[in-house]
Structure 1
């Protein structure tokens, strides 16, 4: 009905469900009016505005097929591709342009595209452009084309904004509806619908078993978010299915690669958001799965419209979670369906096997004998000179990532322990030399053998000061041998020295010219500098050390025990407390003056 009106040049509002052939309804009429290309005509005369890139590619393919003998020059412009090829094609001349609103306005702003000679304007999937927020851009594009034109608007639904737009910019349009309500009621439904109430963690298992049903061809799975698409694709790949994702975060080359692989049969499961629910026409799509509940009835209609097209039959399965029951009831009432109360379904429920024809004993993993698809990697990615930044994660297969991880050398980290700026090998070597070649001395108190520290090298003697700031000569080798003191002090030595009754000997590394009486760098009377031998007559005995409290060794190293020394003596008096002072004051007799005053009162 729309084709004769379009050929006559009338404005049309076309309304029909998806899959009824709206593209040829306006495409054939547009090509007929534009006519054959001319060398002196470079500006376009036909303009088709579509909401998504995938729909623009599909409309272009249909128009190229229809214009096979006319030879019309058709150009597709959309975002995500390089500007240069599109600008070069515009300079050579085109007859019909198919594009998205954003890239069309960009080319007009850069003065590469002139819309002053447009004779036919088509707005395809107008309701979808309204949902995506393209209505202001559509109005700007309409103002750029001539007022004397033919305008055709096609949409599956007609919201109030689309009706207002048609009244404002269309000239006495004719409303053409492809189907009536009576015809829909009488006709046999081409798509068998199933609605099940499922649990979120069990949906992937149900989907994996659903994909092994008998007679299944290509399958489209719709998710609500982009992350959900990536997660479902990864889970399906791990289970042996050839799957790929299509959503807005992927680059244009990756999106087209996935669609080409899906159309060519290299993958049989396409997981997508609603970006692919409009206008994507792929033959032999037998099953559609709504992995997430649709937002409204329009999304549900367009999703399940990917199957059962052009007289074919299909199966549509919808998963509804418990929190989405209210939303589904609204969709069910708006479309007058019979699934107000979806059946509670799990991956082990018997009715999914009987309803979908799944063989008994099917598990959630595809057998290796049935993995015959080439996969997404078999389809090459076309270099489109993409613009912008791809925000999605890498799309490498997990198998390839695992192989890369296996090929990577293991990380080796060498730790070097140092002590005093020397490595552990040098320190251990020094200890071995000390144990082997250094003489062992005995402590003067307990006789415990202690390794003596090696002597300082002779070529680098240390200068020693006296009070007169004079530098003395280093001691002789014989005297230096006597000056050596133990380099290692053990805690047992300290305990024995604390309990020793006599005067405690001096510990630590002795220095030349130091005596107990004279102090540092001060030679004693009758002795040379650097001699540490004490003279009992001239040197007074060192002061006795205060007895140290007994050491407490706890049984558990993590237990902390504090013991303070008892510093009290027998002559010390105990300080009275405040309470005892008050008691004593009460017991004391009051002065005589105060007693007489109390009696008189």
Structure 2
């Protein structure tokens, strides 16, 4: 076993095999010394400079990704060395590749044997890396990102989540997978039925750990962790760090490096690229207000958030009647219907997606210019995740919140918690001149 382990570490860390190579050994200290000064700067460090495998860099370049975001630039040098990492970053800052690229390097595939980085004995059909996520939407997003980055090396990535038939997932596991991305319930089910073998996992990632806590998944997550080999790399990512998440990290991580990626000009809880507007609105006038906002100059894809499934379904219908290409995503829809609506939104067939908070996390769609909170969210975390759907990955975005008269006290608590400076939203109607000037309608 030790011979295999040493072969594996040689295969996965070519840098250590060639300490005399000036290219790699000079780069790391330079990066480390440069990092604090560059956190909010324009993106200049390429993934190749950060020392990822050339095949992975090639796969990213094929889809136009060459330079790293701050969370990626800070995480990669630490994570590629095999150390445990706690990453704290706002939603939409690019953390999927921050953990995804090191995770892909932990996996041995036939391409590595061909390149002379690994021995044939290192190959296995059991999963070598596991990503645990709270929602189905996030599961598909992370899976797609990993498939893109692992394409040239032909890394096999499988999404495992509930609301879908077991058979295709079991069939795929039988054929062999390198990376599994899954939600806690279905992962436990398949592991319990001995259909999912976790004995070969070398790298574990817990993504959106605070959301797993909110959804009550932490006990399931702990059961899954206890099925994994003790010797492994663990990475935990979370937008906020509640006590239970810190406790989880203390129990299951070994001397983790804590990385918090915020730019100096972006010290607030919300992303600086997102412009926020808050209006006190009347419930009866809200559909008309949304229709006006959808006529704003330069608007691309729009996500509208409602608190209840019924409101989401009603509003989507009203917008359709007004001639807008709108779809809905909420808990009453089956998984198939939810995925269909999301696919239509990604492809631009539908450019307005009305959803409940089931969709607030894990939907990462390029080109969302506006987020509209049709109803005030329950709490500040929900607000952050909703508006985090726009202004992603360096793009600019606009977030508009319509607050009912009776929701003002709830809004004021959110405003105070996030220190937004919108304590008393202006009374606004679909005919108010300031609505038109604010939003360029």
State the TM-score, normalized to the length of structure 1: 0.58
- Superposed CA offset, 1:415-469 (max 9, x none): xxxxxxxxxxxxxxxxxxxxxxxxxxxxxxxxxxxxxxxxxxxxxxxxxxxxxxx
- Indicate the residue corresponding to 1:178 in structure 2: 261
User: How far does residue 211 in structure 1 lie from its aligned partner after superposition?
Assistant: 0.8
Note the aligned Cα RMSD (angstroms): 1.6
1:304 aligns with 2:384: no
Q: Say which of 309, 315, 326 aligns to 1:243.
A: 326
1:98/1:188 Cα in 2 relative to 1: closer, same or farther (>3 Å)?
closer
8 A contact 1:90–1:113 mirrored in 2: yes
Match status 1:7 vs 2:90: no
Write the distance in 1 (CA, Å) between the matches of 2:368 and 2:137.
Answer: 17
Partner of 1:486: none
> How far apart in 2 are the matches of 1:181 and 1:336?
17
1:207 maps onto 2:280 in alignment: no
Give the 5 Å matches for 1:248-327. Answer: 248-327=331-410
Q: Look up the SS of the partner of 2:226 in the other structure.
A: helix
Q: Contact 2:266/2:272 (CA < 8 Å) preserved in 1?
A: no
Q: Post-superposition shift, 1:189?
A: 2.8
Q: Distance in 2 between matches of 1:149 and 1:337?
A: 41
Matches within 5 A, 1:424-463: none
Aligned to 2:230: 147
Structure 1 residues 69, 328: CA separation in 2 closer, same or farther (over 3 Å shift)? same
Which residue of structure 2 aligns with residue 63 of structure 1? 146
Residue 216 (structure 1) aligned with residue 306 (structure 2) = no
Post-superposition shift, 1:32?
Answer: 0.6
How many angstroms apart in 2 are the aligned matches of 1:322 and 1:282? 32
User: Does the Cα contact within 8 Å between 2:375 and 2:401 map onto a contact in 1?
Assistant: yes
1:80, distance to aligned residue in structure 2 (A)? 1.4
Which of 1 and 2 has higher RCO (CA within 8 Å, sep 6+)?
2
Q: What's the counterpart of residue 352 of structure 1? A: 435
Residues 35, 70 of structure 1: 8 Å contact kept: no
C-alpha distance 181-167 of structure 1, shift in aligned 2 (>3 A): farther
Distance 2:242 2:412 in 1: 21
Report the Cα distance in structure 2 between the residues aligned to 1:310 and 1:89, rounded to whole angstroms.
32
Match of 2:425 in 1: 342
Shift of 1:226: 1.0
Q: Once the 2 structures are TM-superposed, how far is the Cα of residue 256 of structure 1 from its aligned partner?
A: 0.9
Distance (Å, rounded) in 2 between the aligned partners of 1:203 and 1:276: 21
Q: Offset of 1:243 from its aligned partner? A: 0.7
- Count of matched residue positions in the alignment of Structure 1 and Structure 2: 357
1:158 paired to 2:241: yes
Residue 282 of structure 1 deviates from its aligned partner by: 0.8
5+ residue gaps, structure 1, are 359-601
Q: Would you say the 8 A contact 2:85–2:234 is kept in 1? A: yes
CA drift of 1:124 comes to: 0.4
CA distance in 1, matches of 2:372, 2:266: 27
Aligned partner (choices 120, 128, 131) of residue 214 of structure 2: 131
Distance 1:4 1:352, change over 3 A: same
Contact residue 193 and residue 317 of structure 1 kept, 8 A? yes
Question: 2:201 touches 2:232 (CA, 8 Å); kept in 1?
Answer: yes
Q: State the secondary structure of the residue aligned to 1:175.
A: strand
Contact 1:246 1:270 in 2 (8 A): yes
Given that 2:106 and 2:128 are in contact with CA atoms closer than 8 Å, whether structure 1 keeps it comes out as: no
The 3-state SS of whatever aligns with 2:365 is: coil
Q: Is structure 2 residue 107 aligned with structure 1 residue 24?
A: no
Q: Which of the two has greater helix per residue?
A: 2
Determine which structure has more spread, i.e. the larger CA radius of gyration.
Answer: 1
TM-score when scaled to structure 2?
A: 0.79
Partner SS for 2:287: helix
1:184-209 Cα distance to aligned partner (Å, 9 max, x none): 36x99311110001111111111111
Q: Deviations over 1:553-573 (max 9, x none)?
A: xxxxxxxxxxxxxxxxxxxxx
Q: Tell me the SS of whatever aligns to 2:267.
A: helix
Look up the match of 2:21: none
For 2:263 and 2:370, locate their aligned partners in 1 and report how far apart those are by CA, in whole Å: 26
- Give the Cα separation in 2 of the matches to 1:301 and 1:75: 29
Moved over 2 A (4+): 37-40, 180-185
How far apart, in 1, do the equivalents of 2:350 and 2:228 lie? 42
Given the alignment, which residue of 154, 159, 162 partners 1:76? 159
Q: Secondary structure at the residue paired with 2:201?
A: coil
What is the CA-CA distance between 1:182 and the residue it aligns to?
5.8
Closer/same/farther in 2, CA of residues 108 and 188 from structure 1, 3 Å limit:
closer
Contact 1:18 1:279 in 2 (8 A): no
Aligned equivalent of 2:176: 93
* Paired residues of 1:286 and 1:313 also in contact (CA < 8 A): yes
Please give the secondary structure, in 2, of the residue aligned with 1:221. strand
Instruction: Name the CA shift for 1:4/1:193 in 2 (closer, same or farther; >3 Å).
Output: same
What is the CA–CA distance in structure 1 between the aligned matches of 2:379 and 2:236, rounded to whole Å? 23
Unaligned runs of 5+ in 2: 1-73, 111-119
Give the Å deviation of 1:35.
2.3
Give the drift of 1:267: 0.7
Match of 2:275 in 1: 192
